[in-house]
Structure formats: C-alpha cells, structure tokens
C-alpha cells in the first residue's frame, strides 16, 4: 500500500537568514508595507464596493447618496453607477420639463435602486427605453423616469418625500415598485425629521474603501451593523439569534395590517396618480429547492382591493418573473451572487419596467377617459 | 476558538510571548498545557474530561506495557487502551449513526430506534488516534514511555494540533517537549509566514469556493452539468485549501513556539496515481492508517488477495473515520478499490503520466462527490449522472469560485517550478514585505464576518 511516508517538516526550506542590520530590516519592511498598501489601494476598486457619504437632500429631506460619477457595486452584480442630483442612482442630471414627455417618479428599495446593474440596465433606464421602443406612435408620450428609490427605504420614507417632490418638481405619476409587502405597511407610521445639512458616514470622504471595508470586517459582525464582540470566556456558548431586520414582520403581523389605511396614507401624500407594481422574489431558490409560490399572495389580494377603492393602479409581475425563470432566464441573482435569490438583475429589471409601463398606460388611459 | 477568529491571534500572541519569556521546561510546558486546555474549553469545557481520561489511561497503560515482559498482560493492557479510546470515539461519533442505521431492526425488537443526539467533541478523532499511536508504539517496543505526565498531557492536548491535526506521533513530539527549544528568528519568521499562508488558503480560497459549493450541493438537480463539474472541482479545492490552510496554521504556530510538526499535504492534485495521491493527501492520517491498521492486518506479507483485502479494510475504516455516514464508508471503499486495482497491476503506473493524472483526478473527484453528499447516496449518483450527460439547468459561473480554481491550478503548477521557493516569501527577498502586506490586507478585507468553521472540524 502506498501510504504517505513521514517527511520532516514538509520538506520545507527555512527562509534565509534575516538581514543582520536592524535598520536595513525596518527600512525594507517599511518600504514593503507602503508599496503593498499602494498596490491594494490602486487595485481595490476592481473588487471592492464604494462607501459614499450620505447627505440630506434639500428637496427630499432625507439622506441620499452624495453626487458622484462612480458608485461601485461589486459583491452581487458588478456595476458602476452615477449618483446624480437628488441622490438619483443612474441619472447624472435632472431632465428639464418638456410638454411632450411624461414624468414618472419611481420609488422603492434596493431592488428598485439597482446599484448591482449598470445604469443602462436599471429599471428607470429600461422604462425610458421601452417607452420609446414599445409605444412610439401610440397615444403615450416618451417617459422620463426619476429614480428616487433608495436601499432600506419603505412607504414610511416615500410618503413625505412624494409631497416635497410634487412641490419642487414636475411629476405626472408616482410609481412604487414593491418586492416586500411590508414596505407598504409602513406608510401610515409617524416619522422624525432629519437634520438638514447633516452628513452620515462622512469618513468615507476621507478614508479609502479598502480601509473602511477592513475596519468593518474587523470591528463589526453580521451585516456590518453590530459591533464585534470578542469572546474569551469558556464554552459552550448559548446561541443567541440575532434580532430580526427592521423590515421583517411575522406572517401573523402582516395579516393584521390595515391596508386601507396604508394605501390611503400613500394617496394622501400626493395629488398625482399612483401606480403600485408588485414583484416579490419569485421564483426563489431556498436550500436547493425552487419556491414558486408567493407566501403573501392572500395579502396582495387585500392590497389590490384597498388600492382599487383608493383609485390606485396595481400591476402584478409575478407571472412574468415565473415565466422568465421557466425559460432559464432567472430574474433575480447574479453570477457573483446566487440565482433565485437577492436582487433583480438585468432581466428582472426589464420585466419590472414592462410592468411599470403597463401601469402607467392604465393610469393615462384613465386620465384621458376622465378628461373626455 | 477557530484559527481564523479574531480571538486566536490575540490568544496566540499572549501565549507566544509568555512561552518565550518563561524559564525552564516545566514552567513552559505547564503554561502551554494550561493554554491548550483553555483553548479546548473555549469551545466546551465539559469535554476536557475526555482529554484528561485519554491522557491518564494511555500514560498509565503505556507504563504498564513497558514494564511487563508478560505478553498476555501487555496485550490486555493494550486492549484496555483500545477499548477506552475507541469506545469513546465509537460512542460520541458513531452511536447515533449505528442507531439510525439499525432503526428498522431495533423497532422490530420493540425499541424506539430514536437517536441520542450526542454532541461530537471537537478533535476527538485526532487526539484518540494520537494517544493510541503512543500506546501501540510502546507495545511494539518502538518507543519508551515518558515519565513526565506533564509532557504527555501536553503531547495529547497541545493546542495547535488538538482539534484537526496534523496527527503527530509521540516519538516526534515528546522528545521536543522534553527540552526547552532554542529561540530562532528564522523559525519565528518561517512560522509566521506559514500561518499567514494557511489563513490565506482558508479565507481567500477555501471560503470563496465554499460559497458556490454550498449552493450547488444543496440542490444539484437545478444546475447544469457544467456548473456541477465546476462545483465538484470547487469542492476539491475547498476541502484541500481548508484543511491544508488549517495544517499550515497549526504547523506555523508550533514552529513559532519552537516545535516541529510533520507536513500534512504535498500538492495532492499533482498525483499521477492513487498511491501517489495518498502520499500527498492528509499524510499524517495515511501513515497512521498504514502503520497501525494496514500493517496490523498483515500488510502485503500474505500474498495478493490478503493485500487487497487489507487495503480495502484500511481505506474503508479510513473513510468511516471521517464521519458517521454510509457515504464516508463508500468513499473509503472507493479509494480502497482504486488502490487495490492499482496494486493488482492494471494501473496508472504503466500509463503515460498525463493519462495517469486524468484517471487519478477522475477517481478523486468522484470520491469527493460521495464525501460531500454525506448521507445522501441518491444525490451523489444523480450528480454523477448530470456530470456525465452535461445535463441542462441553471448555468451559474461564479467568477470568484472560478478565480479561486485558477489560483489552485496555478499554485499546483508553480510548485514544480523555481516559483515554489518564492511562494514561501523568504525574508531576504525584496518582494516578501510587499507580498506579506498585500496578503494581510486581503485577509482583513475578506475576513469572515460570520462564523466560518474548518471543514475538518466535523471529523
């Protein structure tokens, strides 16, 4: 039998002698550390996301990403986004108001924000492109979409912003893309105002992303929000489950939401028509199994009823998402993430954009009928 | 405490300084023993009793064996050690497996057949093998027992190798523990570099590969044949870099403390035959199996058929050592059959090296599928079918996993070139500080925010 023979210390060669001169040693290592760090600093944008400061936008009165020509996203998807005025991801400028365009404000969370895909593939850009490609010569105008969606936001954040946007900008329709119904449930909650001229994460103005990432890994745990605690006590340790993320409501809690009030709070925040596009993460792959059923399907039916009675157009893109996955084009996930999980990719954005166009079309038809 | 957890460098730095400051062997070894028990108790203090029991039994038994000339008595003593050590291993590791496997029979006899939910003490497979080797060596009169309980207890519990090897033999470590090691800047630097390399293997390569492996092996039927091929190669890389990374950290830590451990890996995926593979893979386990199982069974002394039988038995037991599941047993049997066929002459030895390498890698990869699908044989066979037919499904090509596979290939190829020396980052080369800095930054940037255990901890 050919089993291993003992080899002393892996046949390893010990490194050569250390430089005898201590000054030379420190000199060599000092230069090495500087050069090594410079190499990391220069190459890190290829593999590390940006950390950008959040500033309070004077119009929206919420924290938004500061304007930058290049906001990198690397871990799930790989894209560089422009962050334009009013914290709009993907738009470098605020288009001037024209009579022959239809201006849509797009609200949502990170699914709608879409920093994981390039600007040309973001939902807002696909809406504008599709409005030209699909509706030319139709009764509809070319759409200009203002992407106001921001990671972590929900109706609780959108409602007050809508009225401010209505005050300062021309918007014809407000569109909400909802991936999690709980985002709508927060519409009627009270909120505290942010301090103007405040900046969050200002350190990202000064510290490079690789330093921030390293510090986050060293000093925080989980999603980067919990400070890391070292444990030197003896085991066994009791496994303490982390507190649920802010958005997570239990199934029971969701069934108790008063959707009428929530939808009413949304429509109360604007005088413009509202469209809700619903596209949860379906199908998803959970522990190796495809889950094609939306666990909140019943709640969505209740929302549809509430929306109908409040004059809100609701578009359901679940079937389109399922069809796409059925054809092998998974709408969620990326090669550097996991298909059937996480954020919308280019295909998913295209489906949602089609849904938005359907919704806007319905709204405009209604408006036309009303004016006739 | 994991080597890649932030607590470990702090713990290790304190112990390293204290060890080199402590005067005299007794003080030094006491300090290291206390540190080793703390290291183990950090996971679960209750199981320190097992360490103590194993230490006490083999210390006493070995002395008795050595003193006696009565062969029957010596055998009885050896049997006591075997029964206690293997009994402990059997209870904690295999009890639930046997109950689950025999459930229909137990239920037919009117018993519930419910498993006991026994917690597997970390490192039990390693430290029991280590103490057994000591007693067997004393029994075979290859080793004189130590008179120092302190040294022996430290040999059993020494923290760098306690939970996942390398399986160090008493005759390698005990003589080193019997003296105070001499401080050497060269060894300190070499040890630190080896620890750094080990951490890089685990965090930068194995964990990246593991992200893909976990997803695909959770539902392989969803993915295309090509994606499964990549995932299986990724698993081969993950398990190698995970365990080799752990071994490097263990060997490096011991080196910094002044002790020398045997190597555990020698680029196994360069093997051109199965025999060659086992010369390169988990070398301290394979030599243990060779010396204490294969040789004890008769080795190749009693003709061809006995040799084949012994190979099959040794490798099957080796498979079962890895885990309590039928697929581990099958994995061992698969390797045993391959080795037996190779031994029989219809082998890769007479083949061109490239063909030998392809065949060896094929056998190894199929083996890894059995290994990873622990307990799920239908899944393993379905995966092999999908790979053979390049079935349709989700075509998922994660760039980080593919990049890590590329690194694995390049690293294996470079090992046969002069780059091999450069990769050890010798202290007198200009590029070593630069490469060390880059590695340290990369480790901190990719440090796991979540608990990311070593694969071999479960064994």
Transcribe B416-451 into DSSP letters: TSTHHHHTT--TTSTHHHHHHHHHHHHHHHT--SS-
Q: What pLDDT does residue A190 have?
A: 60
Across A120-135, b (16+ Cβ under 10 Å) vs e yields: ebbbbbbbbebbeeeb
Q: Per mean pLDDT, which of A77-91, A213-227, B332-346 is the most reliable?
A: A77-91
Ranges A36-50, B92-106, B118-132, B378-392: which has the least confidence: B92-106
| Distance of residue A221 Cα from the nearest chain B Cα, in angstroms | 5
In a domain, B308, yes or no: no
Measure CB to CB from residue B222 to each of A5, A8, A290 and give the nearest one.
A290
Q: How many domains does chain B have?
A: 2
Residue B450 lies in a domain: no
Residue A337 has pLDDT above 80, yes or no: yes
Domain that holds residue B121: 7-180
CA nearest to B364, candidates B348, B377, B352, B351: B348
**CA B125-B129-B130 angle, 5° bins:** 120
Among B267, B282, B322, B335, the active-site one is: B322
pLDDT number for residue B345: 77
Whether the bond between B230 and the residue before it is cis, its omega within 30 degrees of 0, is no
Burial bucket for residue B430 (CB in 10 Å: 0-12, 13-18, 19+): exposed
Of A164, A159, A130, A115, the closest CA to residue A266 belongs to: A159
Q: What is the CATH classification number for the domain harbouring A104?
A: 3.40.50.1110
Assess whether B214 and B268 both reside in one domain: yes
Q: For residues A286 and A329, is the Cβ–Cβ distance under 8 A?
A: no
Under an 8 A CB cutoff, do A2 and B266 touch?
Answer: no
In this predicted model, what pLDDT tens digit does every residue of A209-255 receive, in sequence order? 999 999 998 888 866 678 888 889 998 876 555 554 555 566 667 77
Instruction: Compare B374 and B70 and report the one with higher pLDDT.
Output: B70
Structural domain count, chain A: 1
Tokens matching residue B35: 């540190």
Tell me the pLDDT tens digit for each residue of B150-186.
999 999 999 999 988 799 999 999 999 999 999 999 9
| pLDDT given at position B101 | 82
What mean pLDDT, rounded, does chain B reach? 91
Helices (H), B109-184: 124-139, 149-157, 159-162, 170-177
- Evaluate the CA torsion angle A261, A317, A354, B223 in order and state its sign: positive
Is B141 in the same domain as B192? no
Residues B190 and B159 occupy one common structural domain: no
Looking at residue B375, its pLDDT comes to: 65
Residues of B in contact with A289 (CB under 8 A): 219
Is residue A241 included in any domain, yes or no? no
Look at A292 and A10; give whichever has higher pLDDT: A292
In a domain, B111, yes or no: yes
Which of B158, B180, B202 is the last residue before a domain boundary? B180
Q: Do B262 and A10 touch (CB under 8 A)?
A: yes
Asked if the Cβ–Cβ distance from B286 to A3 is below 8 Å, we say yes
B115 and B192 assigned to the same domain: no
Chain A residues with beta carbon closer than 8 angstroms to that of B231: none
Checking if the pLDDT of A3 tops 70, the result is: no
Q: Which residues of A touch B213 (CB under 8 A)?
A: none
A79-83 vs A68-73, strand pairing mode = antiparallel
Rounded-to-integer distance, Cα B140 and Cα B137, Å: 5
Instruction: Give chain A positions within 8 Å (CB) of B421.
Output: 13
CA B20 to chain centre: 29
Nearest to A2 among B38, B279, B397 (CB): B279
| Mean pLDDT, residues B340-349 | 75
Chain A closest CA to B66's CA: distance in Å?
25
The verdict on whether B322 is a catalytic residue reads yes
Task: Taking residues B363-371, report their average pLDDT.
Answer: 93
Q: Measured between CA atoms, how close is A280 to chain B, in angstroms?
A: 20
How far is it, in rounded angstroms, from Cα B156 to Cα B64? Answer: 19
- Which whole number is the average pLDDT over B94-105? 85
Q: Which of A7, A39, A236 sits opposite B438 (nearest CB)?
A: A39
Residue B296 lies in a domain: no
Tell me which H or E stretch contains B62: helix B48-67
Is the domain of B18 the same as that of B154?
yes
**B264 and B196 fall within a common domain:** yes
Chain-chain contact of B263 with A220 (C-beta, under 8 angstroms): no
Q: Which residues of chain A make contact with B442, given a CB cutoff of 8 A?
A: 40
Residue B170 sits in the same domain as residue B190: no
* Calpha distance B356→B362 (Å, rounded): 10
- Best B215, B249, B279, B349 residue to mutate vs chain A (most A CBs within 10 Å): B215
Instruction: Establish if B400 belongs to a structural domain.
Output: yes
3-state secondary structure of B296: coil
Omega before B199 cis (within 30°)? no
Residues of A in contact with B280 (CB under 8 A): 4
Could you give the residue ranges of the DSSP H alpha helices within B282-352?
283-289, 304-322, 326-344
Same domain, residue pair B53 and B144 = yes
Whether the per-residue pLDDT at A323 is higher than 90: the answer is: yes
Distance from CA of A42 to the nearest CA of B (A): 12
Helical pair B185-200 and B225-257, crossing angle rounded to 10 deg: 160
The answer to whether B159 and B2 have CB atoms below 8 angstroms apart is no
Interface touch B398/A335, C-beta < 8 Å: yes
Task: Decide if B283 and A7 are in contact by the 8 Å CB cutoff.
Answer: yes
Residue A344 forms part of a structural domain: yes
Residue whose tokens read 């094609």: A292
List the single best residue of B445, B446, B448, B453 to mutate versus A (max A Cβ within 10 A).
B445
Q: Are residues B94 and B215 in the same domain?
A: no
pLDDT of A11 reads 40
Per-residue pLDDT, averaged over B93-109, amounts to: 85
Is there a single domain that holds both residue B365 and residue B235? yes
Residue A7: band (very low, low, confident or very high) from pLDDT cuts 50, 70, 90: very low
Chain A residues touching residue B440 (CB < 8 angstroms): 36
Residues of A in Cβ contact (< 8 Å) with B245: none
Contact B428 A18 (CB under 8 A): yes
pLDDT at B430 over 70: yes
Assess if residue A10 is contained within a domain. Answer: no
Mean pLDDT, chain A, whole residue set: 85
Distance from the Cα of B78 to chain A's closest Cα (Å) equals: 25
- Of chain B, the percentage scoring pLDDT greater than 70 comes to 96
> How high is the ipTM of this complex?
0.85
Out of A224-228, A294-298, B138-142, B378-382, the most confident range is B138-142
In a domain, A64, yes or no: yes
Do residues B156 and B235 share a domain?
no
Residue A173, pLDDT > 90, answer: yes
**Secondary structure string (H, E, C) spanning chain A:** CCCCCCCHHHHCCCCCCCCCCHHHHHHHHHHHHHHHHHHHHHHHHHCCCCCCCEEECCCCCCEEECCEEEEEECCCCCEEEEECHHHCECCCCCCCCCCCEEEEEEECCHHHHCCCCCHHHCHHHHHHHHHHHHHCCCCCCEEEEEECCCCCCCHHHHHHHHHHHHHHCCCCEEEEEECCCHHHHHHHCCCCCCCCCCEECHHHHCCCHHHHHHHHHHHEECCCCEECCCCCCCCCCCCCCCCCCCCCCCHHHHHCCCHHHHHHHHHHCCCCCEEEEECCCCCEEECCEEECCCCCHHHHHHHHHHHHHCCCEEEECHHHHHHHHHCCCCCECCCCCCCCCCCECHHHHHHHHHHHHHHHHHHHHHHHHHHC
Distance from C-alpha of B203 to C-alpha of B242, rounded to nearest angstrom: 8
**Among partner residues B251, B343, B437, which is closest to A32 by beta-carbon distance?**
B437
Chain B nearest C-alpha distance from A17 (Å): 6
Instruction: Give the Cα separation of A37 and A49 in Å (integer).
Output: 17
B253-279: pLDDT as tens digits: 999 999 999 999 999 999 999 999 999
Q: What is the DSSP string of B1-41?
A: --TTSTHHHHHHHHHHHHHHH--SHHHHHHHHHHHHHHHHH
Taking contacts as CB-CB distances below 8 angstroms, the residues of chain A near B450 are 221-222
Residue A266: half-sphere exposure toward Cβ, Cα within 13 Å: 30
Asked if A15's CB is within 8 angstroms of B190's CB, the reply is: yes
Identify the pLDDT of residue B405. Answer: 95
Q: Which pLDDT band, with edges at 50, 70 and 90, does A372 fall under? A: low
Residue of B nearest to A78 (CA): B399
What's the mean pLDDT in B343-348?
69
Asked if residue A32 is part of any domain, the answer here is: no
CA-nearest residue to A21 within chain B is B428
Domain that holds residue A120: 50-202+252-371
Q: What is the model's pLDDT at position B47?
A: 92
Residues B143 and B26 in one domain: yes
Contact A335, A76 (CB under 8 A): no
Give the nearest partner residue to A339 out of B185, B394, B432, using CB atoms: B394
Q: What pLDDT, on the 0 to 100 scale, is given for residue A188? A: 67
B374: helix, coil or strand?
A: coil
Where is average pLDDT lowest: A113-122, A188-197, A218-227, B377-386? A188-197
Is the pLDDT at B336 greater than 50, yes or no? Answer: yes
Residue A217 within a domain: no
Per-residue pLDDT at A4: 37
**A328:B44 CB<8 A:** no
Q: Is residue A224 part of a domain?
A: no
- Mutate which of A2, A3, A226 to test chain B, going by most B C-beta atoms within 10 A? A3
Domain membership flag for residue A226: no
Residues in chain A closer than 8 A to B318 (CB atoms):
none
Subunit contact A288:B218, Cβ cutoff 8 A: yes
% of chain B exceeding 90 in pLDDT: 74
What number of other Cβ atoms are within 10 A of residue A234's Cβ? 16
User: B141 in a domain, yes or no?
Assistant: yes
**Contact in structure between A84 and A90 (CB atoms under 8 Å):** yes
| Beta sheet of A63-65, edge-to-edge order | A63-65, A54-56, A199-200
Q: Which of A3, A13, A328 has its CB closest to that of B424?
A: A13
Residue of A6, A7, A8, A10 for testing the chain B interface, max B β-carbons within 10 Å: A10
Q: Which residue of B has its CA nearest to A24?
A: B428
- At residue B459, the pLDDT reads 63
Q: Which residue has the higher pLDDT, B417 or A186?
A: B417
What is the least distance, in Å, from the CA of A86 to any CA of chain B? 31
Q: 3-class DSSP state for residue B223? A: strand
Picking from B155, B180, B205, the residue at the C-terminal end of a domain is B180
Contact between A1 and B307 using a beta-carbon 8 Å cutoff = yes
Shortest Cα–Cα distance, B325 to chain A (Å): 21
User: What is the four-CA torsion angle of A308, A313, A318, A323, rounded to 10 degrees?
Assistant: 130
| B223 found inside a domain | yes
Number of A/B CB contacts below 8 angstroms equals 202
Burial A150-159 (b: 16+ CB within 10 A, else e): beebbbbbbb
Nearest CA distance, B39 vs chain A (angstrom)? 9
Residue A77 pLDDT > 60: yes
* pLDDT confidence band for A140 (50 / 70 / 90): low
Task: Name the DSSP letter for residue B83.
Answer: H
A341: confidence class by pLDDT, cuts 50, 70, 90: very high
**CB B42 to CB A234 under 8 A?**
yes
Is B394 within 8 Å of A330 when comparing Cβ atoms? yes
Give the model's pLDDT for residue A138.
56
């Amino acid at each position: 039998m050919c089993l291993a023979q003992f080899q002393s210390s892996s046949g390893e060669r010990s490194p050569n002698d250390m430089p005898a001169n201590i000054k030379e040693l420190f000199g060599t290592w000092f230069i090495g550390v500087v050069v090594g760090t410079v190499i990391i600093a220069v190459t890190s944008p290829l593999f590390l996301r940006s950390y950008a400061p959040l500033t309070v936008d004077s119009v929206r009165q919420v924290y938004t990403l500061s304007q930058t020509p290049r906001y990198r996203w690397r871990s799930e998807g790989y894209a560089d986004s422009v962050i334009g005025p009013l914290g709009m991801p993907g738009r470098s400028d605020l288009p001037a108001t024209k009579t022959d365009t239809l201006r849509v404000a797009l609200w949502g969370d990170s699914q709608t924000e879409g920093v994981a895909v390039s600007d040309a593939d973001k939902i807002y850009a696909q809406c504008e492109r599709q409005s030209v490609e699909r509706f030319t010569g139709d009764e509809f105008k070319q759409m200009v979409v203002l992407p106001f969606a921001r990671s972590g936001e929900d109706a609780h954040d959108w409602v007050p912003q809508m009225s401010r946007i209505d005050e300062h900008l021309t918007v014809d329709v407000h569109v909400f893309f909802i991936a999690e119904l709980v985002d709508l449930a927060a519409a009627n909650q009270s909120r505290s105002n942010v301090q103007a001229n405040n900046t969050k994460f200002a350190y990202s103005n000064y510290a490079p992303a690789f330093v921030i990432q390293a510090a986050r890994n060293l000093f925080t745990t989980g999603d980067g929000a919990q400070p890391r605690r070292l444990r030197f006590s003896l085991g066994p340790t009791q496994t303490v489950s982390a507190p649920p993320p802010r958005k997570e409501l239990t199934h029971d809690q969701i069934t108790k939401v008063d959707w009428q009030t929530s939808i009413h709070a949304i429509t109360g925040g604007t005088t413009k028509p509202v469209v809700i596009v619903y596209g949860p993460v379906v199908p998803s792959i959970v522990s190796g199994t495809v889950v094609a059923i939306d666990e909140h399907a019943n709640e969505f039916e209740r929302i549809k009823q509430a929306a109908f009675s409040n004059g809100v157009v609701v578009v359901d893109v679940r079937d389109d998402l399922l069809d796409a996955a059925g054809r092998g084009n998974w709408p969620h996930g990326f090669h550097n993430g996991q298909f059937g999980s996480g954020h919308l990719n280019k295909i998913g954005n295209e489906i949602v954009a089609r849904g938005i166009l359907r919704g806007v079309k319905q709204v405009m038809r209604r408006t036309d009928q009303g004016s006739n | 405490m994991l080597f890649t957890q932030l607590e470990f460098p702090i713990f290790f730095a304190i112990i390293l300084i204290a060890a080199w400051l402590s005067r005299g062997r007794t003080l030094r070894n006491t300090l290291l023993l206390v540190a080793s028990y703390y290291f183990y108790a950090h996971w679960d203090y209750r199981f320190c009793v097992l360490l103590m029991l194993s230490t006490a039994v083999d210390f006493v038994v070995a002395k008795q064996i050595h003193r006696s000339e009565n062969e029957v008595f010596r055998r009885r003593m050896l049997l006591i050690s075997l029964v206690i050590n293997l009994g402990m291993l059997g209870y904690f590791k295999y009890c639930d497996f046997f109950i689950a496997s025999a459930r229909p029979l137990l239920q037919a006899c009117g018993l519930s057949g419910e498993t006991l939910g026994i917690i597997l003490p970390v490192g039990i497979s390693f430290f029991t093998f280590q103490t057994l080797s000591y007693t067997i060596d004393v029994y075979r009169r290859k080793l004189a027992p130590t008179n120092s309980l302190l040294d022996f207890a430290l040999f059993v519990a020494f923290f760098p190798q306690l939970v996942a090897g390398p399986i160090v033999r008493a005759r390698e470590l005990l003589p080193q523990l019997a003296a105070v090691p001499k401080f050497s800047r060269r060894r300190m630097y070499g040890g630190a570099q080896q620890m750094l390399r080990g951490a890089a293997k685990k965090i930068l390569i194995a964990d990246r590969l593991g992200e893909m492996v976990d997803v695909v092996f959770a539902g392989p039927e969803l993915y295309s044949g090509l994606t499964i091929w990549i995932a299986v190669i990724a698993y081969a890389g993950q398990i190698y870099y995970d365990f080799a990374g752990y071994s490097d950290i263990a060997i490096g830590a011991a080196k910094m403390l002044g002790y020398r451990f045997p190597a555990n890996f020698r680029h196994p995926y360069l093997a051109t035959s199965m025999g060659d593979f086992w010369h390169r893979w988990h070398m301290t386990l394979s030599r243990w199996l060779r010396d204490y199982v294969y040789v004890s069974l008769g080795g190749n002394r009693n003709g061809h058929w006995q040799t084949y039988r012994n190979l099959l038995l040794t490798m099957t037991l080796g498979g079962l050592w890895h885990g309590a599941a039928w697929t581990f047993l099958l994995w061992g049997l698969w390797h045993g059959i391959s080795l037996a066929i190779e031994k029989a002459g219809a082998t890769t030895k007479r083949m061109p090296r490239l063909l030998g390498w392809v065949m060896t890698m094929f056998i190894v990869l199929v083996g890894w599928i059995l290994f990873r699908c622990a307990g799920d044989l239908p899944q393993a066979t379905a995966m092999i079918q999908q790979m053979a037919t390049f079935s349709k499904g989700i075509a998922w090509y994660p760039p980080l996993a593919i990049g890590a596979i590329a690194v694995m290939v390049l690293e294996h190829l470079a090992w046969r070139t002069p780059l091999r020396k450069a990769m050890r980052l010798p202290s007198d080369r200009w590029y070593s500080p630069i490469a060390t800095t880059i590695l340290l930054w990369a480790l901190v940037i990719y440090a796991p925010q979540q608990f990311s255990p070593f694969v071999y901890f479960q064994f």
